[in-house]
Amino acid sequence: MREKLVVRRYFYSKMAGPLILEYYLLVSPLAKDLEIYGVKIVEQRSGVAASVPGLTVNSRQVFHFIDLLSKGIVTPISLADIVEDWL
């Protein structure tokens, strides 16, 4: 499986302080000339990470999903709930 950083977002909360979230594209071979894509989110300060491989074979759809996750400030902890609702 390959990982590619797609976007890094910086946030600040008065209660929690700085928050740096990185959103990655996961790429796995599925069959000849076919790949399946997933996502990974890493919170840089704590090192907490969560990933969901094998979401779709549609690259446009996974990039759109990563964009929505990053704009919605989805953290590694909340990723599982979001993916369940999205599927």
Which tens digit of pLDDT belongs to each residue from 7-34?
999 988 788 788 899 999 999 998 888 9
Tokens of 29: 């071979």
Query: Which range of residues forms the domain containing residue 40?
Result: 2-81
- Split into its structural domains, the chain has a count of 1
Indicate whether 30 belongs to any domain: yes
Indicate whether 87 belongs to any domain: no
Indicate whether 86 belongs to any domain: no
Indicate whether 17 belongs to any domain: yes
Whose structure tokens read 């950083």? 5
Tell me if 70 sits within 8 A of 40, measured CB to CB: no
Length of the chain: 87
Indicate whether 42 belongs to any domain: yes
Give per-residue pLDDT as tens, 34-77. 999 999 999 998 899 999 999 999 999 999 999 999 998 888 88
